[in-house]
Amino acid sequence: MSNIEQVGYLYQEKLIASPLNYIGGKYKLLNQIMPLFPKDISIALDLFCGGANVGINIKAQDIILNDSLVELIKFYQSLQSCDLQQSFNIIWDIIHTFGLSNSAQFGYKFYQCDSQKGLSSYNKEKYLALRNHYNKKRGSFDLFVLIVFAFNNQIRFNSNGDFNLPCGKRDFNKNMQEKLKYFIINLQSKNVKISSYDFRRFDIGFLDSKSFVYIDPPYFLATAPYNENNAWTLQDELDLLEFLNILNAKKIRFALSNVIFHKGKEHRILKDWLDKYSSFHLHFLDFHYKNCNYQTKQSLSKEVLITNY
């Protein structure tokens, strides 16, 4: 057993947090949704993996992380193919090359900043230089460093495909380093495959009744920053529901995350679909996205998990 496999084994019972602050990420919901997953999964497919909080934690013989955002998938592929220390060396080299802050080593006072106001005043111009560099070169690790130093550690691309978030308050602090470390360990020690397909183009021919598909699409009733320029449309929603019907007909188990009610609106399309297929199970979850400005208060938004088993 290699060193990375040994460390991965030691932490296999620990829930792994994504190093990406993906809007709508399910890390805080894992303790509610994972007990609802099947216990005998051969192949687990996280179809809209996003930050991969769910996919990286599923207990299965094989795991597939899939997302249509090519830049995101290229980053995961880079993490999987590079040695752990090599990945960190590349990240630190980018930070040093662009003169960005390193509060983990030097603290906030070194940069004439404090933890309350954050490091934006020091990093802003250096961050913009890195952002311009990434938008020309498209390096995967450049993207990760951008996300680390970006507003709320989020991901957003404009209509031209350029990363366009402003500089944030944070840097590659110890907490972020720990998240990345254990994410890489698990990405490399588990049987993880990575792909980038639109769900309509994903070949499910190799899946069977022992497989499991987790689906966490952009929510039709909510628009997140990563989805601003290519909004999830009515047709996308209808196509996804038909995709779920196909999975069900093939006896492939699935779990769908979504909202039944949001911002004063009822998801009638989803509710009508559930009424039509009464054999599906609706699980109400206790959670709200209190830190996400596109979401509403908990009382106005109801998150659910829908399963066909």
**pLDDT tens for each residue of 169-194:** 999 999 999 999 999 999 999 999 99
Reading the block at residue 93, the tokens are 């080299």
Cα 94 from chain centre? 23
76: amino acid identity, one letter: Y
Q: 140 near 82, Cβ under 8 Å?
A: no
92 to 140, 148, 163: CA distances (angstroms): 14, 12, 20
Angle at 42 between CA 305 and CA 256, to 5 degrees: 15
What pLDDT sits at residue 300?
Answer: 58
Question: What is the C-alpha to C-alpha distance for residues 212 and 209, in angstroms, rounded to an integer?
Answer: 8
What is the phi/psi pair of residue 226, to 5°?
-70, -15
If you write DSSP's letter for every residue of 114-128 in order, what string do you get?
Answer: -TTT-SHHHHHHHHH
What pTM, to 2 d.p., does this model score? 0.89
Q: Are strands 253-262 and 301-307 parallel, antiparallel or unpaired?
A: antiparallel
Tens digits of residue pLDDT in 86-120: 999 999 999 999 999 999 999 999 999 999 999 99
- CA pseudo-torsion sign 178, 181, 186, 189: negative
Bridge partner residues of 45 (DSSP): 64, 213
Cα–Cα distance measured from residue 48 to residue 226, given in angstroms and rounded to the nearest whole number: 13
What DSSP state is assigned to residue 289? -
Domains and CATH numbers, the chain: 3-73+189-307 (3.40.50.150), 84-179 (1.10.1020.10)
Report the C-alpha dihedral over residues 116, 118, 122, 123, rounded to 10 degrees.
180
Q: Which residue has the higher pLDDT, 267 or 8?
A: 267
Give the separation between CA 137 and CA 135, rounded to whole angstroms.
Answer: 6
> pLDDT tens digits for 249-272?
999 999 999 999 887 889 999 999
**Banded model confidence at residue 46, pLDDT cuts 50, 70, 90:** very high
